[in-house]
Structure 1
Amino acid sequence: MKHGTHTQDRRVFLKSLAILAGSATLAPFIRVLPAMASSSLIQTSEQRILMGTFVNMTVLAPSQTLGQEAIGRAFEEVRRQIGIFDRFDSVTALSTLNQSGRLNGAPQELLDVVDFSATLSRHSGGRFDITIAPVVNLLERTHGKPDSKELREVLDLVNASGLRQRGNDLHFTSTGMAATLDGVAKGFIADRAAEVLMSHGVENFLIDAGGDIRAQGSPEGLERPWRVAIEDPDKGGNYPSIINMRSGAVATSGGYEVFFDPKKKSHHLVNPSNGSSPQYIKSVSVQAPTVMQADGLATTLSLMSPREALRLTSSLPGHSCLLVTSTGARLTSPEWS
């Protein structure tokens, strides 16, 4: 849902499929290693271009027809959620909030994601802040080289507590504030797709939303888990980790593909306190119960020192992380596997 100067960010809701098909962002952060389905279940897969990336769903069902029906319904839910969270579409709920400074009768999905984001902001000491949107917009417009005065002005608008909720209504406390849910919305949407699959009786599935993974069961419908390879940030095929998944989610965040300036020093991961982008941590992968949790925490940890990142992750039950630094070091929390 964000984008940079030389490569389109996988989170941008692009309008042109022709542009998207040629974009380098379609290379996933995470690769799913193949496996064959059992003879009693039929493996069905479908891939679509949504949310600025490839979204692939693989399910095991008693018949191909049932598998296709479940996948179709899940993609319908994805499109419905995009109609809430796409900040580049002027008619969505999030865009209305950003344009008007308030939104009466906000959809419950938006309220849920805003609430989760506020909690993550508190846990991270403000590192994760969805009101960073004015800064991101400025960096994009100036190709990562903003005027210092203008940067200070938009940094003054960054204030997580300045997005208030009263009942089902949302409003900003200052004119010019805006929110981006780029760090969590795609994960939330993937989780909703998973709920649809499960409601249609699918017990074995994997959703890959541009590297945001939600898995359940087995690729065979038997005992063997899904195997997922974490992408090498240097694109050398040297995967930092290969994990086995029977349930839950994994997501990776990194600034090595999405940048605003030719020198790749300014990218979509932005420190809310000064507008800079981290350089030492190259990528962060997080395992969590849901994709929204994994997506949001991966973004957050990217803006922390390794020690802070490992400490925060260890304090969250059911979460683990892998950090890859610019020196090639691989640091993991105790529960990473």
Structure 2
Amino acid sequence: MERRRFMAASLGTMLGAPAAGASHAPLHHGAALAFGTTVGVSVRHADAGLARLAIRDALASVQSVDRLMSIYDPASEVARLNRDGVLARPDPHLLAVLRHARALSQLTAGAFDITVQPLWQAGAHAASAGRLASSRERAQARALVGWNLVDASPERVVLRKPGMRITLNGLAQGYAADLALRAVRAHGVVHALLDTGEFAATGDAGARPWQLGVPDPRVPGRLAAAVRLDGRCIATSGDYEAVFSPDRLHHHIVDPATGDSPLELASVTVVAPSGIEADGLSTAFMVLGSHSAHALAARLPGVDLLTIDKPGRVRRSPGFPELA
């Protein structure tokens, strides 16, 4: 599973690290490999032993999601589903993510669609050969796309058209952040920041709230915004990570309706009550475009966003928790 790290600040370089001499419990950090890279957990607690247990369980939760939902590990349930077109007795966590995916597809009229994997593969294959996917290649891949052709029940998951494949890269990391947050809270930890590529936080960093930077999608090393984490989760999607063309008009985010990348936005940052919501909505909003994304966010409880279009224009929803 390819990591989508768009937040500029990591656990080791938080904008909101505690001030020196602050009379707060110390920070404890842990990291592990998942989603093809390093994921991290930071907790603030007076009991170092309990902090280590909380970090251990949080990281184990993240790795369990990766093992279930990786499209690259042939032993994962998603890889087996893609290979066989059917999966018996799916894990409850996989079922939960598939149900969320279906609800998000319905909410966004198909702008979010986990069955776009053939379109992504067509674009990536063409890019590796130094070209763009042809209209014929996109048409062939689009014929395999359809979120409503995925049937999921506790007994089995079925892809109803031969050759269909799914990707949960737009949900799995957010879901992993939710499970990691649940794991640290089970140990009584009140203050934690979870980094799975998407971020979840609870409590504070000591002297101030947890804070993260949103990178400028066009200027490496520059921040477009600094965000105060307010108990919600945060995710960013952009056109600048896995690119299929130097002009960034073709990249890893695909509009299921056209078979190609959406043209308006360079990045979308979403804060939402859960990691899986923030993760999925950031992808969906890239496809929907600024006007429709902001209109939909205004109807969703606890959801705010910041959009940056390709010319660099920034738009924030009224409740977006940007630092002054």
- The two structures share one fold, judged by TM-score above 0.5: yes
Q: What are the within-5 Å matches in structure 2 for residues 224-303 of structure 1?
A: 224-303=208-287
Alpha-carbon offset, residue 264 of structure 1 = 3.3
The answer on whether the counterparts of 1:43 and 1:64 sit within 8 Å (CA) in structure 2 is no
Distance 2:6 2:61 in 1: 24
Alpha-carbon offset, residue 242 of structure 1 = 1.8
Alpha-carbon offset, residue 160 of structure 1 = 0.5
Which residue of 1 is the match for residue 94 of structure 2? 110
Which stretches of structure 1, 4 residues or more, deviate above 6 A after TM superposition? Answer: none
Alpha-carbon offset, residue 29 of structure 1 = 4.3
After superposition, the CA RMSD in angstroms is 1.8
Q: Does 1:217 align with 2:203?
A: yes
SS at match of 1:189: helix
SS at match of 1:247: coil
Give deviations 1:209-263, integer Å, cap 9, x for gaps.
23x110100111x7x3212221221235442222222312011000112112344
Question: Given residue 303 of structure 1, which amino acid in structure 2 is its aligned partner?
Answer: V
Question: Given residue 36 of structure 1, which amino acid in structure 2 is its aligned partner?
Answer: P
SS at match of 1:118: helix
Which residue of 2 is the match for residue 304 of structure 1? 288
The answer on whether the counterparts of 2:7 and 2:214 sit within 8 Å (CA) in structure 1 is no
Which residue of 1 is the match for residue 159 of structure 2? 172
Distance 1:65 1:105 in 2: 37
Q: What are the within-5 Å matches in structure 2 for residues 87-98 of structure 1?
A: 87-98=71-82
Which residue of 2 is the match for residue 36 of structure 1? 18
The answer on whether the counterparts of 1:249 and 1:291 sit within 8 Å (CA) in structure 2 is yes
Alpha-carbon offset, residue 187 of structure 1 = 0.7
Which residue of 2 is the match for residue 189 of structure 1? 176
1:153 aligned to which of 129, 140, 143:
140
The answer on whether the counterparts of 1:203 and 1:216 sit within 8 Å (CA) in structure 2 is yes
- Quickly say closer, same or farther: Cα 1:76–1:41, change in 2 above 3 A: same
Distance 2:170 2:220 in 1: 26
Which residue of 2 is the match for residue 6 of structure 1? none
Which residue of 2 is the match for residue 329 of structure 1? 313
| Residue segments in structure 2 that go unaligned for 5+ positions in a row | none
Q: TM-score of the superposition, structure 2-length normalised?
A: 0.91
Which residue of 2 is the match for residue 201 of structure 1? 188
Distance 2:48 2:219 in 1: 35
SS at match of 1:260: coil
SS at match of 2:194: strand
Distance 1:126 1:27 in 2: 24
Q: Which moved more, 1:98-107 or 1:64-73?
A: 64-73
SS at match of 1:71: helix
- Quickly say closer, same or farther: Cα 1:289–1:167, change in 2 above 3 A: same
The answer on whether the counterparts of 1:111 and 1:168 sit within 8 Å (CA) in structure 2 is no
The answer on whether the counterparts of 1:314 and 1:334 sit within 8 Å (CA) in structure 2 is no
Distance 2:179 2:115 in 1: 24
Distance 1:249 1:56 in 2: 15
Alpha-carbon offset, residue 270 of structure 1 = 0.5
Distance 1:39 1:300 in 2: 42
The answer on whether the counterparts of 2:203 and 2:231 sit within 8 Å (CA) in structure 1 is yes
| Residue segments in structure 1 that go unaligned for 5+ positions in a row | 3-9, 12-25
Distance 1:311 1:30 in 2: 29
Give deviations 1:273-300, integer Å, cap 9, x for gaps.
1221123211000000111100100000
Q: TM-score of the superposition, structure 1-length normalised?
A: 0.88
Alpha-carbon offset, residue 323 of structure 1 = 0.2
Alpha-carbon offset, residue 332 of structure 1 = 1.5
Sequence identity (%) = 30
Which residue of 2 is the match for residue 21 of structure 1? none
Q: What are the within-5 Å matches in structure 2 for residues 75-154 of structure 1?
A: 75-143=59-127, 145-154=132-141
The answer on whether the counterparts of 2:6 and 2:214 sit within 8 Å (CA) in structure 1 is no
Question: Given residue 140 of structure 1, which amino acid in structure 2 is its aligned partner?
Answer: A
Q: Does 1:65 align with 2:49?
A: yes
The answer on whether the counterparts of 1:44 and 1:64 sit within 8 Å (CA) in structure 2 is yes
Give deviations 1:128-163, integer Å, cap 9, x for gaps.
000001111111111162232232121011100000
- Quickly say closer, same or farther: Cα 1:71–1:166, change in 2 above 3 A: closer
